[in-house]
Amino acid sequence: MGKFGKELIQSAKEALAIAEGRMVPARVIQPRGVDVAAIRKRLGLSQGKFASRFGLSAATVRDWEQGRRVPDRIATNLLLVIEHAPETVDEALAVPGE
């Protein structure tokens, strides 16, 4: 077995130990909560336009704002980037030639 395979098995063993409470993870990153409505309003967008601009579902944005759902970690990270650099997100999501 190669080095990568051995590292992969070791990582799996560590993950199991963490899941079973026998080991503490080296680091846990908890993104702070985001106020989706505040971000959207600061950009002057309706829920539908905010969702469309950033490739989200309008129903999901509505659920986040009304507290029926909480953005997962990836969505939270996207929302934090939107909050700080919406133009950069626009550029990254732009379809070439449009």
Q: Where are the domains of the chain?
A: 1-28, 36-93
- Per cent of the chain over pLDDT 90 is 77
Residue 73 has pLDDT above 90, yes or no: no
- The closest alpha carbon to 31, from 70, 89, 88, belongs to 70
Mean predicted lDDT score pLDDT of the chain: 91
- CA of 22: how far to CAs of 14, 27, 70, 71, in Å? 9, 15, 29, 29
For 38-66, what is each residue's pLDDT tens digit? 999 999 999 999 999 999 999 999 999 99
For residue 25, what pLDDT band results from cuts at 50, 70 and 90? Answer: confident
Predicted structure pTM score: 0.67
> The domain 36-93 belongs to what CATH superfamily?
lambda repressor-like DNA-binding domains (1.10.260.40)
83, 40 in Cβ contact below 8 A?
Answer: no
Q: d(Cα 68, Cα 90) in Å, to the nearest integer?
A: 27
For residue 98, what pLDDT band results from cuts at 50, 70 and 90? Answer: low
Average pLDDT of the residues in 28-35: 78
